[in-house]
A and B are shown apart, each in its own frame.
Chain A
Amino acid sequence: MKPETRIAADGLCAAIHAACLLRAGAYRTVLVVAHGKASMAPRAALEAWAMDPIFLQPLGADFRTVAGLEARVLCDRDPGAVLRWAHLVARRRSDAAPHGVAGPVAALEVLAAPLLASPLTAAMEAPAADAACAVVLQAGGSGVPVRWIGAGHDLEAHAPGDRPLGRWSGLRRAFDRARRAAGLEADARFAVIEPSCRYPHEEELVLDALGGTAGAVVSPSGGLFAGDAPCAAGLGRLAEAVRRLRREPGVGRALVHGAWGPAGQGQAVAILEASQ
C-alpha cells in the first residue's frame, strides 16, 4: 500500500527519479530496486524487438549488431583497438573473477572466441546474469557515509544513421547535467568511475565522453564483466561505488554510469561524494 513508481529504463534512472522525489520533499526515504533475469528469455530476441520495426528490425539489427557496427567504426580508424579491447576484457574478467558469473579469460582467448558481431567476439560481451540490486536513498540524512550530489540522463536518437556512432554525445549531455546539478566545474576529478559497459569499446567511449578522467580508478570490481543483468546493471554500479566510498577513506568522489538501448541510446549519470 505504498507509493511506487516503475521506471522502464536502466536501474540508475530509478535512483535518479528517487533522488528527485526526495528533493521535491515528497518523501523522506525511498527504496530503489532494480532486477533483471537474463536467463528467462533470449536477450538478443527481446532486444531485436526494441529496434525500429520499419527500417531497422527487418535488417536484423539488435543491440549486439549495432554494437558491432560501432566497434567497426572505431577500429577502422585505430588498427590496434581490437587487441587493446581483448586485453581490457581479460583485465575486467580477472577483477570480476572472485564474484562474477564467469572466470578469468586470457586476452588471446578473447580474440580467438567466435565472432559475435564483427569485430566483436563472443568473449568481448559481458556475460548475461540474473541479479537484483536495492539501494536506500534518504533526504537530508546527517552522518550518512555517502552523499548524492548530482545526476543527469539523456535519450539519444534511435537509428545508428541518425547519430555519429563512435561518440557517446548523449552521455556527454547526461554528464554535463549531472555536473551542473552537483556544482562541479568541467575539469572536476573523480576517484572512482563505475561505467556500465557490455563491450570493451564502450568503456573507451565512456571515458572519452567524460573527459578529464586521469587518475580515476575505473571499474575496480570488473564492471558488468562480473555479470550483466538487464536493468539491474546501472544500479549495481551505484552500489559498487557506494561500497568503495564507504570502505576506502580518502576516496572522495565517484561517478556512476548507466546505459540502455542500442549503442548507448539511453544514458544516465550520478555523482556521489563521501562525507568528510
Chain B
Amino acid sequence: MRQVAVIGSGQTRHARCRDDVSQAELVREAAAAALADAGLRPADVDAVLLSNMELFEGRAFPELWVGEGAFACGKPCMKIATGGTSGTSTCIAAFHQVASGMFDTVLVVGFEKHSEGHTQTGMALTDPFWDRAVASGALGNFALSISEYMAERGVTERQAALVAVKARRNAAQNPHAHLQMPELTVDEVLASRMLAHPVRLLDMCPQSDGACAIVVASGDRARRLCPRPAWVRATATRHEQPTLGDIDRRLCSMRTLRDAAHAVYAAAGITEPLAELDVAEIYEPVTYAELAWYEALGFCRDGEAGRLIEDGVTTMDGTLPVNPSGGVLSSNPVGASGVIRVAEAALQIHGRGGSRQVEGARLALATGYGVYAWADAIVLGAES
C-alpha cells in the first residue's frame, strides 16, 4: 500500500443559515480554500470525492448540481453517504483511492446546508415497520440510549454539562465554529431548555450550514507539497444493523466504535491511547456521547468517563485534548462534520492550529459516528 497523507484543508464559516451562498457556492468556498492551502490549482487534482447526506437539504443526487463547485467537472467524482460518518467514510475512500495508485491527488469536499431542508424529516426515514414510530430523528434516539447509559454508568447531568462548556470554550478559539459561547458556564447548560429528558438544548449539537475540504496526496507528492504532511497511519470502518432492537445497549456498548478503535490502535501500534495520542477530534453529536466515546475509545475504563471530564484530562491543557475545534457540539454541517474532524486532526499535525494548536502534536485520532450503526476511526501521524 502506498503512503498517503493529508496535505491541506479548507473550511467555510459555519452558521445556522448561510443565505449569502447557494449550496454550490458553499462547496466552492471550502474546495478553493483547501486547494489554496495545499498550493494547488484545480487542474492538479486527479479526482474529487463528495460527502453529503442526501435529503437533509431537500436535494436528490446533490453532487450533480454542486460538483462544479468542487472543481469536479471533467474529473472522476463520486459521492459517499453513510449518515454522520459520511465525512470520515469519504476521507477513508480517498485514502484508499490514493493508496491503490489509482490517483495521486484527491480532493474531498463535505457539505451540508441544513437551512434549506428539514434534517429531522430526513432522519425519520428509518425502517418504516419497526423504528420510525418510536425512535425517529436524533433526539428520540439519544434520549432513549442516554437514559440507559446514565443508569448503567452513573454519569451525571453536571458531567455532561462540563463537556458542553469545554466544547464551546474551545470553539471560541476556532474562527470557523458556528456556536461562539466563550463565557458559557455549567449552570447555564443545566438551566437550558429540556428537549427530551435528559437532553437539554445546550447538550445538543447545532444544525449548521457549512463545508469542509481536504487534499489527500501520495507519498512523494505529499512531501514535495507540504512541510509537515499528516500521514495516514491507520483507518477502520464498522457498520452494523441500524434497527433499534438489533443494537445491543447502544451508547453503553457502541461496539462499532469500540471495534474500529481497537483495529486502528492495533494497526498503528498504540497500546495506551490516552498517553500516546496527542490530540483527538471525535464526532460527539451530544455531550453524553462524548463521555461514552471516552470509554469506547479506551481513553478510560467503562464507568470512568465522568471522572475524566471532571479532572480536566481532555481540556486543552489536559493529558489528551479532545476536540480543540469545539467539535460537532459547536458546528455540525453533517456531511462536512466528519471531514472537519480529519481536517482539524491534520491541522494539528501540520502544526498550524493557531490559537487552538496542541503544542507538539504528532499523533492524532479522528472519528466518525452515524446513529450507532456506523463508526469510523482514523489515526494520523507526523513523519516518523
Contacts and interface: CB of A to CB of B under 8 A. Distances in A.
A47 B73 contact: no
Given A5-B93, A49-B58, A155 B72 contact: yes
B305 interface: no
Nearest to B241: A1
Q: How large is the interface on A (under 10, 10 to 19, 20 to 34, 35 or more residues)?
A: 35 or more
A8 B255 contact: no
Given A154-B74, A266-B64, A7 B80 contact: yes
Interface in A148-181: 152-158, 170, 173-174, 177, 181
A261 B76 contact: no
Contact of B65 (A3, A13, A17, A52): A52
A156 B82 contact: no
Contact of A23 (B74, B100, B240): B100
A26 interface: yes
A238 to B, nearest CB: 16
Nearest to B374: A4
A25 interface: yes
Interface string A1-21: 111111111000100010011
Nearest to B62: A50
B97 to A, nearest CB: 5
A64 to B, nearest CB: 14
Contacts of A47: 60
Given A5-B89, A21-B100, A262-B64, A156 B73 contact: yes
Contacts of A4: 82, 237, 239
B54 interface: yes
Contacts of B236: 3
A261 B68 CA distance: 14
A259 to B, nearest CB: 12
Given A20-B97, A26-B99, A49-B59, A154 B238 contact: no
Nearest to A155: B77
Nearest to A47: B60
Sort A-B residue pairs by CB-CB distance and give the 5 closest, nearest first: A155-B77, A24-B100, A23-B100, A50-B61, A24-B99
Contacts of B259: 1
Contacts of A52: 24, 65
B65 A50 contact: yes
Interface of B: 1-2, 22, 24, 48, 54, 58-65, 67-68, 72-82, 89, 92-93, 96-97, 99-102, 236-240, 255-256, 259
Contacts, number: 123
A53 interface: yes
Given A3-B236, A4-B239, A20 B100 contact: yes
A23 B103 CA distance: 12
Taking chain B's interface residues, is the majority helix, strand, or loop, or is none over half, making it mixed? mixed
A59 to B, nearest CB: 14
Contacts of A7: 78-80
A54 interface: yes
A15 to B, nearest CB: 12
Interface string A37-74: 00000000011011111100000000000000000000
B238 A6 contact: no
Contacts of B76: 152-155, 174, 177
Contact of A53 (B2, B65, B77): B65
14 contacts: A6-B80, A7-B78, A8-B80, A8-B81, A9-B63, A13-B78, A24-B97, A24-B99, A24-B101, A25-B1, A158-B64, A262-B64, A266-B63, A266-B77
A173 B93 contact: no
A5 B80 contact: yes
A53 B59 contact: yes
Given A47-B60, A174-B76, 16 more contacts: A2-B239, A5-B82, A7-B78, A7-B79, A8-B80, A9-B63, A24-B96, A49-B58, A50-B59, A50-B60, A153-B77, A154-B74, A154-B75, A158-B67, A260-B61, A261-B64
